Amino acid sequence: MQEVQDAKQKASTLIGLLRNNQGRIENHQLAELNDMAYKAVQKRGLQKKLDERALKNQEFYNKLDKAVEEATKGMKIDELRKKHKDIGDFIGQCPLSLNDLFEAMELGTCMCLGLEVERSEACIADPSLLKIKNIIPTFMSAESFQD
Q: What is the pLDDT of residues 35-71, one digit of tens each?
A: 766 665 555 667 777 778 778 888 888 888 888 888 8
In the chain, what are the domain boundaries? 1-74, 75-147
This prediction's pTM: 0.52
Which of 3, 5, 4, 25 lies closest to 14 in space, CA to CA? 25
- Report d(CA 31, CA 25) in Å as an integer: 10
Q: Give the residues of the chain that fall short of pLDDT 70.
A: 14, 17-30, 34, 36-45
- The confidence score (pLDDT) of residue 75 equals 84
CB of 123 closer than 8 Å to CB of 130: yes
- pLDDT computed for residue 25 by the predictor: 66
Element at 111 (helix H, strand E): strand 111-118
Q: Give the model's pLDDT for residue 59.
A: 83
